[in-house]
Chains A and B, each alone.
Chain A
Amino acid sequence: MEFTEEQINRYSRHILLPEVGGKGQKKIAKAKILLVGAGGLGSPAALYLAAAGVGTIGLIDSDVVDLTNLQRQILHHTSDIGRPKVVSGKEKIAALNPDVIVKTYEERLTAGNALKIFSEYDIIIDGVDNFTAKFLINDACFFADKPLIHGGILRFDGRVTTIVPKKSACYRCVFKTPPPAGLVASCQEAGVIGVLAGIIGTIQATEALKLILGIGRPLTDRLLDFDAKKTLFREIKVKRNPHCALCGDHPTITELFDDGDPFAGCAVRP
């Protein structure tokens, strides 16, 4: 593929970077990235990846835009209230960069559809708000052998990590199972400072671009935790766990399943 003059202009600030260049920009143009969740984390990730010229962006989300989403889900506007998030998201991406092919899935990610959908993409970005889905995404990335950029936000705290299945620690290596449903507060109860979605979602997009370009050091085997109140990032080293039920030496999870209560909330800090 060759870039048009307009595309060369559009991506000129990328192409100027020795680490990217025309060759790297072509890698970006060929990349296929799936955003699971077109909400808080998915919004900034979708916008920056679209601006960057990612060839194909998949959006999977079964929700419609709600007034309470707009405080942080910048992919959606006030006029989108009541419309499917994937439809609203596709429009914004197309308006920002018509080069991008957007595929939409107006459905929940389940053990039944995850592997089929994941198989069409190079990288998966976690932008979901419940543990069943977070564990499902982790497991599906393992079985589909797709790199995962995991993210989580709650109140004033955020976390991001990159998982390359069979090479780096997976989510289950650290958190074996979802927390007990009864101990978990719902996201609605817990609240979140809206800008946190922008910070964590944008780091997720950065990690995805690094993987596409094959540059730098990926955020693997490290949890990057962000404390917005202190404006402090902390890195916690993690390792593959030989006892991991999914990617350990003697796995007990051999197929996809929905782990925990999908309606249990986003949990947490005592």
Chain B
Amino acid sequence: MQVKVNGKSEDIQSGSVLDLLTLKKIDPQMVAVEVNDKMIDREHLATTTLKEGDLVEFLFYMGGGR
């Protein structure tokens, strides 16, 4: 199914947000996740199932500044 990840269309297997993070080898502790403009608590990543057309944002920490 098609979802948008950080603005880019991707064809993925159905599954949870955590499955997608695992597939992309992203440590859930290193991102904040938004699905369709709604923040997903880290403890709900495994139980949040992605649907066709979902807009997923993986927001990485950006700490620099000096």
**Which residues of A are at the interface with B, using a C-beta cutoff of 8 A?**
37, 39-42, 63, 69, 73, 126-131, 134, 151-154, 157-159, 173-176, 178-180, 183-184, 187, 190, 192, 197, 223, 234, 236-239, 241, 243, 265-270
How many residue pairs, one in A and one in B, have C-beta atoms under 8 Å apart?
104
Out of B38, B42, B59, B63, name the residue touching A130 (CB < 8 Å).
B63
**With A180-B29, A268-B30, A270-B26 in contact, is A40–B39 under 8 Å at CB?**
no
Out of A127, A152, A173, A239, name the residue touching B62 (CB < 8 Å).
A152
B29 neighbours in A (Cβ, 8 Å): 179-180, 183
Out of A40, A183, A192, A238, name the residue touching B30 (CB < 8 Å).
A183
Out of B6, B27, B42, B62, name the residue touching A183 (CB < 8 Å).
B27
* Closest residue on chain A to residue B7 by CB atoms: A234
**Which residues of B are at the interface with A, using a C-beta cutoff of 8 A?**
6-7, 25-27, 29-30, 32, 34, 37-39, 41-42, 57, 59-66
| Docked complex Cα distance between A212 and B37 (Å) | 29
**With A174-B32, A239-B37 in contact, is A153–B65 under 8 Å at CB?**
yes
* Closest residue on chain A to residue B42 by CB atoms: A176
Contact status B66-A37, CB under 8 Å: yes
**With A236-B57, A270-B25 in contact, is A175–B65 under 8 Å at CB?**
no
**With A239-B39, A268-B30 in contact, is A129–B59 under 8 Å at CB?**
no
A42 neighbours in B (Cβ, 8 Å): 65-66
Question: 8 tightest CB-CB pairs across the interface, nearest first?
Answer: A39-B66, A266-B63, A152-B62, A129-B66, A266-B64, A154-B64, A153-B64, A41-B65
Contact status A236-B64, CB under 8 Å: no
A192 neighbours in B (Cβ, 8 Å): 64
| Docked complex Cα distance between A157 and B60 (Å) | 10
Contact status A128-B65, CB under 8 Å: yes
| Docked complex Cα distance between A154 and B63 (Å) | 7
A41 neighbours in B (Cβ, 8 Å): 65-66
B61 neighbours in A (Cβ, 8 Å): 131, 152, 175, 178-179, 184, 267-268
A-B contacts, 19 of them at CB < 8 A, read A129-B64, A152-B63, A157-B62, A173-B39, A174-B39, A175-B32, A175-B61, A176-B32, A178-B61, A179-B29, A183-B27, A183-B29, A192-B64, A239-B39, A266-B64, A266-B65, A267-B61, A270-B25, A270-B27
Given contacts A267-B60, A267-B63, 14 further A-B contacts (CB under 8 A): A37-B65, A42-B66, A151-B65, A152-B61, A152-B62, A153-B64, A175-B61, A176-B32, A197-B65, A234-B6, A236-B34, A268-B63, A270-B27, A270-B30
A172 → chain B closest CB, angstroms: 10
Out of B27, B59, B64, name the residue touching A223 (CB < 8 Å).
B59
| Docked complex Cα distance between A173 and B32 (Å) | 10
A24 → chain B closest CB, angstroms: 28
Contact status A179-B30, CB under 8 Å: yes
Contact status B59-A174, CB under 8 Å: yes
| Docked complex Cα distance between A187 and B60 (Å) | 15
Contact status A134-B63, CB under 8 Å: yes
* Closest residue on chain B to residue A43 by CB atoms: B66
A131 neighbours in B (Cβ, 8 Å): 61, 63
